[in-house]
Amino acid sequence: LDTALAAADEQGETPIVLLVDGRLAGLLCAVDAIRPEAAETLAALRAAGLTRMAMLTGDRAAVAARVARELGPFEAVVAEQL
């Protein structure tokens, strides 16, 4: 279980552990979808000359890192801000 939880964290997934009568019954990993317009919006901002951007989010650091890899580059990524 520890290995699976660590792998989910590394991939920016949110693990959901399922227990039945206190025993492990399964593990689900959820991933939030990035809005399709996010990449378009960031591309438009970059095309307009905005080159220094930061991403602030309430997500866990691993989730923020995954999103930043997909949408970046960002000058800074700041997670867990809630």
Tell me the CA distances in angstroms from 39 to 31, 35, 70, 71, 73, one per residue in order: 17, 8, 9, 6, 11
pTM score, whole prediction: 0.73
Element housing 36 (H / E): helix 36-47
- CA 44 to mean position of chain CA atoms: 22
Beta bridge partners of 14: 30
Tens place of pLDDT for every residue, the chain, 82 residues?
889 999 988 888 889 999 999 999 999 999 888 998 999 999 999 999 998 999 999 988 988 999 999 999 999 999 999 8
Query: Counting Cβ atoms within 10 Å, is residue 59 exposed (0-12), middle (13-18) or buried (19+)?
Result: buried
> Which pLDDT score is estimated for 9?
85
